């Protein structure tokens, strides 16, 4: 793994190289905060973390830089809904002349495909962005971000605090609790449809999955400790 100094150097290099894009994206995030609009857990910290993971897992510099730019724009769908696609195109235009038409297409497709299941037809730029996004969604901040993204559902649902199981009605797109939402991240460890594919990304993901397993164990133990690990409680034994 490249060290911190090398990653900081790469960040500064690309921030300067793509400064029109970087400046527009950071201004958009600043505006969301100043206007108290919220970003549903998809702030600048997330976009930049995804961008930097792209550099760590890509196997060549050209694809790394394309994915880095795509990562800066990949969260627009989370806070601009219907206008997102147009805003992505408008914002990307600030650096479009630094890429050829094929590269531009690869970047824009990666952005629009990033939250879809794995597809054998995915380009390497799309694979890098999908893997980097999943990696960034497995770090410890996912626990807070899940609550921001799912502010109307409970942290946990009584009766579903044990083991690795989740409520049968919970799905990835529509979890019944934040616990169930975070639990979905473990699918990225081995699932064919949503699993992390690149070798370097899988290496980086391993300790993050281990941390999340500890987190679920702690939830389970805490509810056992207070006698609320089964629900409803109907018979006293």
Q: Please, what is the minimum distance in Å from the beta carbon of residue 101 to Fe ion?
A: 26
| CB closer to Fe ion out of 133 and 180 | 133
Query: Nearest approach, Cβ of 165 to Fe ion (angstroms)?
Result: 26
Q: Which tokens in the block code for residue 199?
A: 């070798």
* CA 32 to chain centroid: 19
Rounded Cα–Cα distance for residues 144 and 175 (Å): 15
- In the complex, the smallest distance separating the C-beta of residue 74 from Fe ion, rounded to whole angstroms, is 6
- Least spacing, CB of residue 149 vs Fe ion, in Å: 10
In the complex with Fe ion, the residue whose CB is nearer, 133 or 189, is 133
DSSP letter assigned to residue 128: H
Shortest reach from residue 42's CB to Fe ion, in Å: 6
The distance of closest approach from Cβ of residue 48 to Fe ion in the complex, given in angstroms and rounded to an integer, is: 11
Q: Please state, in angstroms and rounded to a whole number, the distance separating the CA atoms of residues 98 and 138.
A: 32
DSSP 56-102: HH-SSHHHHHHHHHHHHHTTHHHHHGGGHHHHHHHHHGGGGGGS-HH
Looking at the Cβ atoms of 70 and 106, the one nearer to Fe ion is 70
Residue 26 CB burial class (10 angstroms; 0-12, 13-18, ≥19): middle
Distance CA 96, CA 70 (A): 12
Nearer to Fe ion, 106 or 132 (CB): 132
For 168, counting Cβ atoms within 10 Å of its Cβ (0-12 exposed, 13-18 middle, 19+ buried), the class is exposed
Q: Measured from the CB atom, is 39 or 104 closer to Fe ion?
A: 39
Binding residues (CB under 5 A) for Fe ion: these are: 133
Minimum CB distance to Fe ion smaller for 40 or for 94: 40
> From CA 44, how far away is CA 28, in angstroms rounded?
9
Nearest residue to Fe ion by CB is 133
């Amino acid at each position: 793994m490249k060290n911190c100094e090398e990653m900081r150097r790469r960040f500064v290099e690309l921030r300067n190289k793509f400064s029109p894009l970087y400046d527009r994206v950071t201004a958009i995030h600043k505006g969301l905060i100043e206007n108290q609009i919220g970003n549903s857990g998809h702030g600048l910290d997330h976009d930049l973390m995804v961008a930097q993971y792209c550099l760590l897992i890509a196997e060549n510099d050209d694809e790394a830089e394309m994915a880095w730019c795509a990562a800066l724009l990949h969260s627009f769908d989370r806070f601009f809904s219907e206008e997102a696609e147009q805003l992505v195109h408008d914002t990307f235009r600030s650096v479009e002349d630094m890429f050829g038409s094929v590269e531009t297409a690869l970047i824009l497709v990666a952005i629009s495909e990033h939250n879809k299941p794995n597809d054998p037809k995915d380009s390497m730029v799309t694979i890098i962005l999908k893997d980097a996004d999943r990696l960034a969604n497995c770090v410890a901040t996912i626990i807070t971000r899940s609550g921001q993204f799912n502010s109307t559902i409970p942290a946990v649902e009584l009766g579903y605090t044990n083991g690795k199981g989740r409520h049968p009605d919970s799905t990835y797109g529509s979890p019944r609790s934040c616990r169930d939402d975070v639990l979905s991240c473990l699918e990225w460890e081995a699932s064919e449809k949503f699993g992390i594919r690149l070798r370097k990304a899988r290496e980086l993901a391993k300790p993050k999955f281990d941390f999340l397993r500890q987190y679920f164990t702690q939830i389970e133990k805490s509810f056992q400790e207070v006698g609320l690990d089964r629900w409803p409680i109907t018979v006293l034994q």
